[in-house]
Structure 1
């Protein structure tokens, strides 16, 4: 009976050690993926801000119609989305 308990504890401890090692081995890729997502969000937010200021400048200078300014803003935001995709993948 004592041997059965010791065997069970030994097996349980091996399982816990293996589970801990597996958990630690998955931490590095998760951190890298998190950094990639953050870089993608930063690129996207920067593109949005650039698009906003670009539209304001476009309308202030009155060099294009409002529709053309809107299209420029869309294009700038789309470029930011593409940059985000390039960062993530």
Structure 2
């Protein structure tokens, strides 16, 4: 009788731990997906920034590249904030 109670208790503990850890993995997965989406959106935005810059012809190609780099870096920072 005591062995059965211990076995039921241990089974409950193992089940609770596995449910908690799977929830944590799901949350991390969601954060990674959200961060990846931010980075992908940033890439598109950076491309558009550079194209707009080149079309406007107000800056040199080097300055347009720097604008694109800054845009991408801002996106990376946002993604890091989401992930961590």
1:1-89 mapped onto 2 (5 Å cutoff): 10=4, 16-89=11-84
Structure 1 residue 32: Cα displacement:
1.1
Q: Deviations over 1:12-67 (max 9, x none)?
A: 77655543332112111111111111111111111111000110111011111000
Look at both structures and tell me which one has the larger radius of gyration over its CA atoms: 1
TM-score normalised by the chain length of structure 1:
0.78
5+ long unaligned stretches in structure 1: 1-6
5+ long unaligned stretches in structure 2: none
